[in-house]
Each structure stands twice: as C-alpha cells, then as structure tokens.
Amino acid sequence: MNLTTALARLLIFPGLLFAVPFAWFFLWVERKSVALMQGRIGPPFMQPFFDFIKLLGKTTPPRRGVSGLLMKTWPLLAVSTAGGAVGLLPVLPSSGGFEGDLILLLALLEVPSMCIIAAGFSSRSIFGEIGSAREAVLSVSYNVVFLLAIVSIAASQHTFRLEALAHLPASPMLILAVVAILVCLPAKLHINPFSLPNAEQEIYSGPITEYAGPELAMWELSHGLEWVAATGLVATLIAPHFTAVWLAVLAFVVLSFGVVLLLSVTAAATARLQIDTTVRFYWQCTLIFAVLAISSALFMRFRS
Amino acid sequence: MSYKIPMGPYHPALEEPYKLDLICEGETVRDAKLHIGFNFRGIEHLAETRNYIQVIALMERVCGICSNIHTLTLCQSMEQLTGLTPPPRALYIRVVVAELERLHSHVLWAGIAAKLMGFKTMFMTCFELREKVMDVLQAISGNRVNYSMNRIGGVNRDIDDPLAVLAMVQALEREMVRTVIPIFTTSSTARSRCAGIGILTREKALSCGVVGPTARASGLPQDLRRDAPYAAYSEMEFNVPVQPDGDVRARLLVRALEIMESCKILRQALTKMPPGEINTGDAKIVFAAGTATSRVEAPRGEVMYSVSWKQDAKNPSRVHVRTPTFANMPSVRWMVLGARLADTPLIQASIDPCYSCTDR
C-alpha cells in the first residue's frame, strides 16, 4: 500500500469522508429504531448532525483545577483513532493493506476506550471517576473474548492481514468468532445491557459528565465512528467476496446497517446489568469460547 | 478509601428534588444521609386561609399522583366535624376512583423502576398503560390528574354507566396481565436486578414504622382498607398481599399483586354500585369546633389528615397532613447500607417516594 492509497483510504473511503456521515447516520438509526420499538417518534434524520453543529458553536465554561489541554486532547485522540480504524477496514475488493494491519486495527479500536477512561479521571468529577473505573473493568472483561475471537481466526489462517480475513469462506470457526464479537459489541459501544460506564440514573454521563461544547461534540463523533468501525469489522468478516466495487460497498453498508439494527434491538429489549454480573458474563463467555476454539482446532487437526 | 457521592437534589434517578448523600467505598455504600425540604410550598399554612370549599381544591394539589386520596381523607375528616354522612353510591364512587388511582400510581412506579434498571422500553410500555388508566379516570371525572371528585358529604360527579367503565377496567386488567404483571413477577431481568437488594427486615420495618407496600413487603400485614375500612371497603372482598423477604423484589411482587386486587375491587364496586344520590346537597355546612382525624390507605401507604376548626370560623385553624413517604423514608438509610452504588437508585425508588407530598 503506497502513501496515496493510504491517504485515500484514511481520508476518503472508507475513512473520514465516508465514515463521518455514516457515523451520524448510524447514531440516527440506533436512536430512531429504539424509539420506534418503544412507541416513540424518535429524532429527525438530521438530528445527530444538528447536535454536532450546535455543540461546536457552544463555548466551554472554564473549569478550575482541570487541565484544559488534557480535556481537549482525549476526545480529539478518540476521534482520530476511531477514524483511523475505519480507514483500515478492507471494504474494497483489492484494498491492499499490509501484514499486521489487523494488530493496528485492534489497537486503534482500543484507544477510544482508553481515552474515555483517561478523560473521566482527568475531569476530576466523582461521577467521571466512577464511570472510568467501570469502563476499565468492562474493557478488561470483554476484550479477552473480543481479542480471542479475532486472534483465533487470524491464527487459523496464519496471517495478521485484514484482507486475508475478509475473504475467508464461512466456517464454524468464523461463525463462532463473529458471534463472540457480536456479544462484545454492546459493551464496546456502551449500550444496553452493558451501558454501565454511562448509566445516567446512577452516574449521569459517567466519564464525559464534565464535557460540554466542542469537546462533547468530538466525543459524540468518536462514538459514532466507533459504531462504524465496530459494525464495519463484523460486516467485512461476514460479507461475501465481490469483485465489483459497488457491490462490495453495498454489501458493507447493508451488513453494517443490519448489525446496527441487531444491536439496537438488543439494547431496547434489555435492562442494564450490574458490573459484577457483566464481568461474570464475559468471563463465562471467554471460557466457553476458549473451549469451543480449542475443540474446533483439535477437530480440524485430526481431520486433516 | 471512602468518598461521598451526592445523589440529588437534581438527579436523573429522582422524580422530585431531595438529596441522598452516599458514603461509598468503591462501589459499596457504607452510609447514607437523607435531606428533604426542597419542595416546601407552605400548603398547610395556606389551608388555614381557605374556606371549606377552597381548601379541598388546595389539598388536591399536594400531590399530582395521589390527588384524590388527599381530598378523600380531608373530606372524611371534615365530614366528622360536620356530621354529614355520604350516601352509599358516593362511597362506592370513592372506592372506584381511589382504586383507579392506585392502579395509576403502581403502574407509574413500575415504569420508574424499569427506567432505573436501565430498561427504557419497559418504562415506555408502563407509561402507555398509565395513559389508559388516566383515560378511564377522565371518562369518570373529566380530568386526568386533579379529578375534583370529592366534596363534603359525597362526590361531585356520578358514574352514569358503571358497566361501560367496567368494560374499560376489564380491558385494562387484560393488558396489565399481559405486560406489567409478568415484568413484576417472572421477568429474569427484574429478578436479577431486584432480588436480595435493599433488604428491610421485619424488625427494622417495625422499628422504622414503615407503612403501605413497603411494610407489607417486609412481612407486616397492614392495610387500612381491611383494618379500618372507610368508604365502601367493608363491603368489598379482597386479599392483602404480604411478602416476607423485605427486598426490592418483594416490594415489586406486593405491588403486582395489589394491581390484581385493585382490579378485583373495581369489578365488585362497579357491579354492585347502589342507586341513589351522590351527595348530601348544597345546603350551607356548619362545622362543630374541635379536631377530627381520618386515615386512608393511599397507594404508597397510610395518609392521615388532622383538621381543627374553631367555633363559627370560616377557615380551618389547622390542617395537618402525614404522608406515607414521611413514614417510609428513614428506612432508605437501612436499605442502602452495604448495597452496590448501581442498586441505590432502585432501592431508594422501591419505597415509591413522593417528596411533593412529604414537603407540602
């Protein structure tokens, strides 16, 4: 992948130019679908965009005892890493990529969550600190399953190249891994039943309680980009291999949209779990997934 | 390291302003302090400046959820001072409105509890159902919140066609059985979030003097509708649900069973409603000097009114209100001790607090 291709992927498709409107679109889909399931009308189509513009126009009040630079850095870092993660997704049929880009993608996907943890502690709000502590515990719990799922597919193909994984034919291992990733996504995106870090009835907005104006706008955008990156990752893993560019893009969009709807239904149909129940759930998932992955690997080894 | 988390006076988990200072160690609550008085409106003092017609309209505005109960208790107290006895039909109508109000209050509480569990879909379902209960109340009284039904010596409006209201109540009951009751009783989410938390033992409940569903969920079989019947409750057949566990789930179950009992009472009251007058007429009312008290089982527990009148006075000399939340709120401190921070919104809500009534 040369510099031009890399820049085109990062800035145009599937990077910022594509990802930012889609982030707002997915945020709208999530809010609208949940509203419809709850018998409400829900927001108009352009609402996430209007929210973003409105927040950009506001002035953040001065905060005593808090480093303004740090407060500005975390959301910007979260937006850029989430945008970078979307840029790495192998959406196009011959998107290039490089050996090890999967590891970079996993790292980039993790940075927004670390930024949120740091942001909560930087804000010196008691609600922010509790939210950050919850996010840290949650992150440690679901990431084991999440990483195990992705690494097991990569290990089965002996490559850490995303493009190779995107072209995998359907296999029990792939289905198992996709299910495991789907189980982790509600926690990664802070939606029910794992919306613990931003449980508004308990700790307001958690880590981002003290954020307002353009900084909050950036958090909203990074959240939207995380939606695109996370659902896009699932979409690239399950999408069939198309040679036509428009078909590949269409499949990516439709499948991502389907995953967003699935997650929205899950969020609307569940209550928030407690932190210990959540941790127990993910460690049980880890155990089950580990046993299934090892059995599957042994089975394939004996069969070959 | 322990730290203090202020919950309120303005907080997404609270319907009304009050403050709970939680002393936590990690996610565990070690102590709690309750502060009230953010909603004080001086209604008891205002009542001393109103005549016997105006005071009913004023006391109806003590609370937006149990508005009827306040006027009912006040009117019962004033009836003792005037010696007026409401006709039997009026007593039946009072029962119907009081039970519909109980349904409305319990369903609203179910919605709030669901929201505090982070289950907003269920919150919307419950509130949709609450709207239907309010439709029935509107069909009877013409109002959705302050029904203006009670007056000294009876009620203001008749239920012209009790069987039509009965059909609405039966439709409501079917929907309750289909949606709200399963959430309360069999839902695994409710069980996982509510079982074993916010425990108030029978002994503690007795020493705190709690009332209503909070007391019944701690194994105290008390209900004024049965123990000291008023209106037409002595002619109704119903059970008083009691649960021994004392946790939030027990309070859920008690309210769920009470919804079913309320429907049962409504069915009986609407079918057996006697014909006749609905009040004692518009003649001038003369009050005897003295103090009269009346107690009523509100959705949240016992409400007591004490009304004092001086000889030949136009206005009451004292109207004292004791609300169920006033009796129940000290128990919150004992319920949250040792609880997880995530459970405290639900625990404090499990007594169904109404600070509008308490602060007045």
B154-176, pLDDT tens digit by residue?
Answer: 899 888 888 888 887 888 788 88
Check CB contact under 8 Å for B114 and A271: yes
Q: How far is B11 from chain A (nearest CA, A)?
A: 7
- The C-alpha atoms of residue B277 and residue B80 are separated, in whole angstroms, by 20
Provide, rounded to the nearest whole percent, the portion of chain A with pLDDT above 70. 97
Check CB contact under 8 Å for A201 and B12: yes
- HSE toward the beta carbon, residue B132, CA cutoff 13 A: 17
Residue B112 has pLDDT above 70, yes or no: yes
Chain B positions touching A196 (Cβ under 8 A) are 342
Report, as an integer, the average pLDDT of A185-214.
87
Q: How many domains does chain B have?
A: 1
Which two three-digit tokens encode residue A165? 């994984």
pLDDT band at A33 (very low <50, low <70, confident <90, very high): very high
Strand partners, B24: B3, B29
Q: How far is B105 from chain A (nearest CA, A)?
A: 21
pLDDT of residue A301: 66
Report, as an integer, the average pLDDT of A106-110.
91
Check CB contact under 8 Å for A126 and B5: yes
- Between B117, B121, B340, which is nearest A272 by CB? B117
Q: Are B148 and B156 in contact (CB under 8 A)?
A: yes
pLDDT of residue A69: 84
Q: Helix or strand or coil: residue B316?
A: coil
Chain A positions touching B341 (Cβ under 8 A) are 130, 202-203
Strands B2-7 vs B19-25: parallel, antiparallel or unpaired:
antiparallel
Interchain contact B22–A (C-beta under 8 A): no
Chain A positions touching B125 (Cβ under 8 A) are 38-39
- The C-alpha atoms of residue B208 and residue B353 are separated, in whole angstroms, by 15
A31-37 contacts at long range (C-beta below 8 A, 24 or more positions apart): A33/A260, A33/A261, A33/A264, A33/A265, A33/A268, A34/A264, A34/A267, A34/A268, A34/B120, A34/B121, A37/A264, A37/A265, A37/A268, A37/A269, A37/B121
- The C-alpha atoms of residue B176 and residue B100 are separated, in whole angstroms, by 13
Check CB contact under 8 Å for A201 and B115: yes
Cα B353 vs. chain centroid, distance in angstroms? 9
Q: Helix or strand or coil: residue B35?
A: strand
Q: Helix or strand or coil: residue B351?
A: coil
Supply the mean pLDDT for chain B.
87
Size of interface A-B (CB pairs under 8 A): 67
Q: Are A172 and A296 in contact (CB under 8 A)?
A: yes
Q: How far is B201 from chain A (nearest CA, A)?
A: 24
Report the residue count for chain A. Answer: 304
Check residue B160 and report its DSSP letter.
Answer: S
Strands B150-151 vs B154-155: parallel, antiparallel or unpaired:
antiparallel
Chain B positions touching A40 (Cβ under 8 A) are 124
Tell me: the pLDDT tens digits for B282-306? 778 888 888 999 999 999 999 999 9
Which of B28, B112, B119 is best to mutate for the A interface (most A CBs within 10 A)? B119
Q: Are B84 and B52 in contact (CB under 8 A)?
A: no
Nearest CA in chain B to A270: B119
Burial class (CB in 10 A: 0-12, 13-18, 19+), A244: exposed
A154-158 contacts at long range (C-beta below 8 A, 24 or more positions apart): A154/A102, A156/A297, A156/A300
Burial class (CB in 10 A: 0-12, 13-18, 19+), A104: middle
CB count within 10 Å of CB A266 equals 17
CB count within 10 Å of CB B328 equals 27
Which of B340, B341, B343, B348 is best to mutate for the A interface (most A CBs within 10 A)? B341
pLDDT band at A126 (very low <50, low <70, confident <90, very high): confident
Strands B19-25 vs B28-35: parallel, antiparallel or unpaired:
antiparallel
pLDDT of residue A151: 84
Q: How far is A244 from chain B (nearest CA, A)?
A: 41
Report, as an integer, the average pLDDT of B238-264.
88
Nearest CA in chain B to A205: B12
Q: Are B215 and B205 in contact (CB under 8 A)?
A: yes
Interchain contact B196–A (C-beta under 8 A): no
Residue B307 has pLDDT above 70, yes or no: yes
Chain B positions touching A274 (Cβ under 8 A) are 192-193, 340, 342-343
Report, as an integer, the average pLDDT of B226-255.
88
- The C-alpha atoms of residue B70 and residue B321 are separated, in whole angstroms, by 9
Q: Are A178 and A238 in contact (CB under 8 A)?
A: yes
Q: Are B132 and B178 in contact (CB under 8 A)?
A: no
pLDDT band at B98 (very low <50, low <70, confident <90, very high): very high
Nearest CA in chain B to A201: B13
Nearest CA in chain A to B128: A39
- The C-alpha atoms of residue B202 and residue B206 are separated, in whole angstroms, by 6
Nearest CA in chain B to A198: B118
Host domain of residue B271: 2-358
Q: Tell me the backbone φ, ψ of residue B150, rounded to 5 degrees.
A: -90, 145
Tell me: the pLDDT tens digits for A241-287? 888 888 888 999 999 999 999 999 999 888 888 888 888 888 888 88
pLDDT band at A304 (very low <50, low <70, confident <90, very high): low
Interchain contact B125–A (C-beta under 8 A): yes
- The more confident residue out of B240 and A241 is B240
Chain B positions touching A198 (Cβ under 8 A) are none
Which two three-digit tokens encode residue B128? 């949709």
pLDDT band at A58 (very low <50, low <70, confident <90, very high): very high
A92-98 contacts at long range (C-beta below 8 A, 24 or more positions apart): A92/A13, A92/A245, A92/A248, A92/A249, A93/A241, A93/A242, A93/A243, A93/A244, A93/A245, A93/A248, A95/A9, A95/A163, A96/A1, A96/A5, A96/A9, A96/A163, A97/A1, A97/A161, A97/A162, A97/A163, A98/A1, A98/A161
Check CB contact under 8 Å for A270 and B189: yes
Give the lowest-confidence range in A71-75, A87-91, B282-286.
B282-286
Domain CATH for B13 = 1.10.645.10
Residue A67 has pLDDT above 90, yes or no: no
Check CB contact under 8 Å for A126 and B3: yes
Chain B positions touching A275 (Cβ under 8 A) are 27, 340, 342
CA distances in angstroms from B278 to B87, B151, B160, listed in the order given: 6, 10, 11
Q: Helix or strand or coil: residue A128?
A: helix
Give the DSSP per-residue string, A208-270.
GTT--HHHHHHHHHHHHHHHHHHHHHHHHHHSPP-SSHHHHHHHHHHHHHHHHHHHHHHHHH-
Q: How far is B12 from chain A (nearest CA, A)?
A: 5
pLDDT of residue A46: 94
Nearest CA in chain B to A199: B118
Nearest CA in chain A to B112: A201
**Total-model pTM:** 0.86
Helices and strands per DSSP (H, E), number in chain B:
16, 8
Residue B343 has pLDDT above 80, yes or no: yes
Report, as an integer, the average pLDDT of A49-56.
94
pLDDT of residue A259: 94
Cα B4 vs. chain centroid, distance in angstroms? 32
- HSE toward the beta carbon, residue B204, CA cutoff 13 A: 20
Interchain contact B15–A (C-beta under 8 A): no
Chain B positions touching A39 (Cβ under 8 A) are 124-125, 128
Chain B positions touching A265 (Cβ under 8 A) are none
Supply the mean pLDDT for chain A.
87
Check CB contact under 8 Å for A37 and B189: no
pLDDT of residue A1: 64
Interchain contact B119–A (C-beta under 8 A): yes
CB count within 10 Å of CB B17 equals 17
- Between B3, B13, B342, which is nearest A275 by CB? B342
- Between A38, A40, A192, which is nearest B118 by CB? A192
- The C-alpha atoms of residue A85 and residue B128 are separated, in whole angstroms, by 42
Check CB contact under 8 Å for B116 and A200: no
Check CB contact under 8 Å for B118 and A195: yes
Give the DSSP per-residue string, A149-179.
HHHHHHHHHT---HHHHHTPPP-HHHHHHHH
What is the rounded end-to-end Cα distance, in angstroms, of chain B?
A: 38
- Between B13, B121, B345, which is nearest A269 by CB? B121
Q: Are B300 and B352 in contact (CB under 8 A)?
A: yes
Chain A residues interacting with chain B (CB cutoff of 8 angstroms): 34, 37-40, 126-127, 130, 192-193, 195-196, 199-204, 268-277
